[in-house]
Amino acid sequence: MWSLKKSVWVFHVNTGACNNCDIEIVNCLTPRYDIERFGIKLVGSPRHADALLVTGVVTRQAAPRLIDVYRQTPKPCVVFPIGACACDTGIFRGGYHVVGPVDKIIREEDPNAIIAFVPGCPPKPEAMISGVVKALSAI
Amino acid sequence: MGAVFEGKGKEMSSSLTILFWILVVPGTIILGLVVSWIVRKVSALVQWRVGPPLFQPLYDILKLMGKEILIPQDANRTVFLMAPLVGLVGVLLLSLMLWRVLVSPTETAFIGDIIVAIYLMVLPSLALILGGSASASPHASVGTAREMKLVMGYELPLVLAFIVIIIKTAGFVGQEQQLSLYAISQHVPVLSISGMLSFLIALLCIQAKLGFVPFDIAEAETELGSGVLMEYSGALLALWKLTHAVMLVALPLFLMTVFLGGYGGVHLAGVWKFVAILLLLIFIGGRLLANRSKFMDVLALLSFIVVCILAGLGKYVLILVLLILIKNTNPRLRIDQALKFFWVYCGIAMVAAVILASLGYYYDINWL
């Protein structure tokens, strides 16, 4: 889909993050980075979204909600695990409350989901923008 | 109206006229997309950002058209699917009426069309309420409740503002003519105290109708997600976006027709003759003086059209920039604050304006 690359609306899902990645996501919207230049927009409902920005290890409580949100997102959509925790659970690996990482939970629901990782603790806004661009040019 | 303009209008071939009326609906939609880009770009510039490229609204619509449509399990399917169509059709009809008044008033306008236009203006908000309440989402229900209260709030001062203009127009035209948009667009009510007051308040009501920031209570991104549009996805969401885009064309155009004297061809009668003479002096010089009369006619028509387009564009941009600046310099109101604002403050101001306009009509004082 050609026009999907020109207009990506993202929805932000926090599945138990420490808030650091969330702050960096909001940082992308500031005049310094201004991702609206590329047509990227933060929306308030998963029904409007083309991409899910998932932050945090997926906790036991958050996993069913993450699946709900993924099912509520109209396809085609891309899932971006943002930060070290979301990518491979980071320092929380093996914790009693951790069922993640994100890609495992999403794959359980939809084996063919498009998932693009943006590692870092937290990832820089530049890294997120480059991740979105790379993922969309691969579609 | 210049005799030149009407004479040439009759000579214009009917196929061209038909072509214009076929193209006017897609044209309005494209214009709406351009205007919604202007809104986003100016907002970005106010916030010291670069902002989206020109084709961004078009990309958004194309992308949404290609996405999956999800309908919530508990939603009322028929109403959920029909609501965006009702909204889009209502606002397109409104824009069509305004184009008729602005482009070929003598043939197609009718007495009482301002009443029809006021009704058509409510349709998008009504469709939004229907769609939101049919989508079986708690966020959408809260948004719908707020939208309903907001509609009740701003309709009172808005209709009073139009009543002021109808009273003011009655002083100029014959019996019952004051109810036709064409008669209203022949003078400039904003050049009087009551007209100015009702223009300012109608501008704020339009702000609420468009869901722009001090009155974006029904959408309230930070607390309700996206409120009434919460459950809409894919092509249905694209229809809502198109509705909003066309509203951005139709509502300022309506304000312009009612308060600012349309595209201003009449009041600028002196100006267009001046421009015609200027063009004559600049472009033809002495060589074409032999068949001057015919050439003068064409030039006068051309300059008349150019002046009309420039004046109309200027007034439209004025209203649009006012709306965008209000949008970018205000925080969101609570619903009770908005209701109090519209009913108490705007209501009292509009009653005062109605009294002033009636006094002005009774004693024949135009500036009241």
ipTM given for this complex: 0.90
Whole-number Å distance between alpha carbons of B59 and B56: 5
Residue B112 is part of which domain span? 3-363
% of chain B surpassing 70 pLDDT = 85
The string of DSSP codes covering B240-306 is HHHHHHHHHHHHHHHHHHHHS-TT-TTTTHHHHHHHHHHHHHHHTTTGGGGGHHHHHHHHHHHHHHH
Q: Is residue B176, in this structure, part of any structural domain at all?
A: yes
Number of inter-chain CB pairs under 8 A, A vs B: 78
Q: What pLDDT was estimated at residue B1?
A: 35
- In this prediction, residues A9-28 reach a mean pLDDT of 91
Nearest CA distance, B225 vs chain A (angstrom): 4
Q: Over the stretch B251-291, which tens digit does the pLDDT of each residue have?
A: 999 999 898 887 765 555 555 556 666 666 665 554 455 45
What percent of chain A has pLDDT above 90? 52
pLDDT in tens, B141-171: 999 999 999 999 999 999 999 999 999 888 7
In the structure encoding, which two tokens stand for residue B76, read together?
């009322």
B99 burial via Cβ count (<10 Å: 0-12, 13-18, 19+): buried
Domain containing residue A74:
2-138
Shortest alpha-carbon distance between residue B227 and chain A (Å): 9
Partner A, chain B 22-81, Cβ-Cβ below 8 Å? 40, 44, 47-53, 55-56, 59-60, 62-63, 66-70
Structure tokens at B11: 């000579």
Per the structure, the count of domains in chain A is 1
Q: What is the pLDDT of residue B279?
A: 64
Q: Of the candidates B185, B168, B162, which has an alpha carbon nearest to the alpha carbon of residue B367? A: B168
Best of B39, B50, B69, B233 to substitute, by most chain A Cβ atoms within 10 angstroms, is: B233
Q: Is the pLDDT of residue B334 over 60?
A: yes
CATH classification of the domain holding A117: 3.40.50.12280
> Would B100 be classed as within a structural domain?
yes
Q: Is the pLDDT of residue B294 over 80?
A: no
Sign of CA dihedral B225, B228, B234, B237: negative
Least confident of B133-147, B156-170, B304-318, B335-349: B304-318
Classify residue B81: in a domain, yes or no. Answer: yes
- How many domains does chain B contain in total? 1
What per-residue confidence (pLDDT) applies to B4? 41
Within-domain flag for B189:
yes
Q: Does residue B331 lie within any of the structural domains?
A: yes
Determine the average pLDDT of the residues in B190-197. 90
Give residue-wise pLDDT tens across range A83-94: 999 998 889 988
> Is residue B108 domain-resident?
yes
Across A107-127, average pLDDT: 91
Q: What is the bridge-based pairing of β-strands A114-115 and A78-82? A: parallel
Segment B347-359, tens digit of pLDDT: 999 999 999 999 9
Mean pLDDT across B109-113:
77
* pLDDT of B201 strictly over 90: yes
B368 located within any domain: no
- Spell out which residues of chain A touch residue B49, defining contact as CB-CB under 8 Å: 31, 34, 36-37
Among the residue ranges B53-57, B155-159, B290-294, B331-335, the one predicted with the least confidence is: B290-294
The answer to whether residue B5 scores a pLDDT higher than 50 is no
